[in-house]
Structure 1
Amino acid sequence: MLQDHLTIRFYQKITDAFVEMWNRGYRADDLRLYLDGYLAALHHSSAVEPYLIHQLEEESVRFLYDPYNFELPQPEPETDYY
């Protein structure tokens, strides 16, 4: 579980980008490449500690491979009341 406020903010940005990219037609392999690049940039910039980047990767991968995160909500069936 992420507890560092900066790491949580990065997680929110990553998962929002995942959903947006998924809706534009990208799939899990593409999103994984995006995540790898994002994490490499964090390592290179030294924005957060390496152990926090590792936790961020674990949580992001868990989000990425959970199919329920990318389901579109189904409309409720309408019932006629007479």
Structure 2
Amino acid sequence: MLQDTQTIRYYQRLTDALVEMWQRGHRSDDLRLFLDGYLAGLRHSQAMEPYLIHRLEEEAIRFLYDPFNFETPQPQAEADYY
């Protein structure tokens, strides 16, 4: 579980971007490449401590491989009450 506020912000940005990319038609290979690039950018910029980047990576991979995160909710039909 992420506890550092900066790491949580990066996680939220990252997962929002992954879902948006999925909705635009990108598939899991593209999302994984994006995730790898995002993490490489964080490592290169030294924006966070390496152990926090590792935790972020673990959580983001868990998010990426959970199919429920990328399902589009289907509208429910309204029940007719007479």
Structure 2 Cα separation of the partners of residues 27 and 21 of structure 1: 8
1:42 paired residue number: 42
Structure 1 Cα separation of the partners of residues 76 and 38 of structure 2: 37
Structure 1 Cα separation of the partners of residues 65 and 5 of structure 2: 24
Q: Which residues of structure 2 form unaligned runs of 5+?
A: none
Structure 2 Cα separation of the partners of residues 64 and 70 of structure 1: 9
The alignment's TM-score, normalised by the length of structure 2, stands at: 0.97
Matched residue pairs, number? 82
Q: CA-to-partner distance for each residue in 1:7-56, whole Å, 9 max, x for gaps?
A: 10000000000000000000111000001000001000000000100000
Structure 2 Cα separation of the partners of residues 47 and 78 of structure 1: 49
Question: How many angstroms does 1:71 deviate by?
Answer: 0.6
CA RMSD between the two structures: 0.6
Alignment of 1:2-81 (within 5 A): 2-81=2-81
Structure 1 Cα separation of the partners of residues 6 and 81 of structure 2: 51
Question: How many angstroms does 1:78 deviate by?
Answer: 1.7
Secondary structure of 1:3's match?
Answer: coil
The alignment's TM-score, normalised by the length of structure 1, stands at: 0.97
Structure 2 Cα separation of the partners of residues 46 and 18 of structure 1: 22
Deviating runs (4+, > 3 A) in structure 1? none
Structure 2 Cα separation of the partners of residues 4 and 13 of structure 1: 14
Q: Pick which of 71-80 and 23-32 moved more.
A: 71-80
